[in-house]
Homo-oligomer: A and B are copies of this chain.
Amino acid sequence: AVCLSTTAMAKSKYEYVRHFELDDRCLPNSWIVVRIDGKGFHRFTNEHSFEKPNDAPALELMTRAARDVVDLFRPDLVLAYGQSDEYSFVFRRQTTVYRRRASKLMSQVVSQFSSSYVFHWPSVMGARALRQPPTFDGRVVLYPTDRNLRDYLSWRQADCHINNPLQHGLLGAGQPRRSHQRSGTAEERLRHTLAADKNEILFSEFGINYNDEPALYRKGTVIVRSLETPGEQDSKLSSDTGAPDGSTVPASEGARTDQKPVGVVKVLNCDIIGDEFWNEHSSVLSGNNKKAK
């Protein structure tokens, strides 16, 4: 017989290796943001015939995956913002989930997002078959103040604004979508063109009225859990969303439903740079979300 007692002793002999794992706890009372990004998505979108520059079902799929991440970490994950092939997840500054260990938070976010992306693919993408499993990368960044957090989110949303006309107007419809490459030269070119205030010319030339584009494309997607009474809010927000085609993704179904109360989860395509959004969802910054526990 195998000498299991030897094995058990051996195991305890090796157990010292546990101590090589170091603590990576995040600084308390700072906003924890986990951002995931598609890796090699230029190739991935070509292989799967994504419409350029925006493929509505593909964006919806991103949001379906993000919804599962938000559910996984409720009520600690208070906001998510996505555009193109990226999504940012914001944990409330007081969270103590997993002792704020960066690797725990980051790995589960990126894992859930990835498995949910593949899981929901058939129901969202329809006839298009998934040919290979995608890869996302992730990172954790801390923001000490509310202002820093808002500026981070503004940065990502401004990136969305810039990438969209860039893809429409400058690269043209037949060209590959490159937002994930952030090509410095093209962005530079747009910036200088605009600096001379020629953006009307630009769009008239390409026959696109940017403001008629769906808010989903222009603003990206915000997922927010709030404690405000739904009645008051929704009326205001429907105009805010500006999504005539109802681009708001329906609430996740079939996802895990345990007992934690979640507040009201909303999926919006609204501006998050100005103050309006933050006034209407004041609990996000005030930390009242923790009452949802």
Partner of A21 from B115, B136, B141, B159 at Cβ < 8 Å = B141
Residues B148 and A103 in contact, CB atoms below 8 Å apart: no
A1, CB-defined interface residue at 8 Å: yes
Which residues of chain B have C-beta atoms less than 8 A from A104's C-beta?
Answer: 137, 139
A262, CB-defined interface residue at 8 Å: no
Knowing A7-B162, A118-B118, A190-B8, the reply to whether A2 touches B107 (Cβ < 8 A) is no
Residues B29 and A144 in contact, CB atoms below 8 Å apart: yes
Q: Which of A11-19, A221-229, A231-239, A277-285 lies on the face that meets chain B?
A: A11-19
Look across to chain B and name the residue whose beta carbon is closest to the beta carbon of A117: B115
A174 CB, min distance to chain B CBs, angstroms: 22
Residues A133 and B194 in contact, CB atoms below 8 Å apart: no
Interface size on A, residues (CB 8 A): 86
Residues A111 and B140 in contact, CB atoms below 8 Å apart: no
Which residues of chain B have C-beta atoms less than 8 A from A110's C-beta?
Answer: 107, 110-111, 114
A176, CB-defined interface residue at 8 Å: no
Knowing A4-B199, A107-B136, A114-B112, the reply to whether A20 touches B148 (Cβ < 8 A) is yes
Q: Which of A49-57, A78-86, A150-158, A243-251 lies on the face that meets chain B?
A: A150-158
A46, CB-defined interface residue at 8 Å: no
CA distance A56 to B158 in the complex (A): 49
A214, CB-defined interface residue at 8 Å: no
Partner of A138 from B103, B141, B148 at Cβ < 8 Å = B103
Residues B108 and A159 in contact, CB atoms below 8 Å apart: no
Chain A interface, DSSP helix/strand/loop, else mixed = helix
Look across to chain B and name the residue whose beta carbon is closest to the beta carbon of A194: B5
Further 13 A-B residue pairs, CB within 8 A, beyond A2-B218, A7-B162, A103-B137: A1-B210, A2-B210, A11-B162, A14-B158, A17-B143, A17-B148, A20-B148, A21-B141, A29-B145, A107-B136, A112-B135, A115-B117, A145-B145
Residues of chain A whose beta carbon lies under 8 Å from any beta carbon of chain B: 1-5, 7-8, 10-11, 14-23, 25, 27-30, 36, 39, 68, 72, 93, 102-104, 106-108, 110-120, 130, 132-145, 148, 151-152, 154-155, 158-159, 161-162, 165, 190-191, 194-195, 197, 199-200, 203, 210-211, 218, 254-256, 273
30 A-B interface contacts by CB (under 8 A): A1-B210, A2-B218, A3-B199, A4-B161, A4-B162, A5-B194, A5-B195, A7-B161, A10-B158, A11-B162, A17-B148, A17-B151, A22-B25, A23-B23, A30-B30, A36-B107, A39-B108, A68-B133, A103-B137, A104-B137, A106-B106, A107-B136, A107-B138, A110-B114, A111-B111, A112-B133, A114-B114, A115-B136, A116-B133, A144-B144
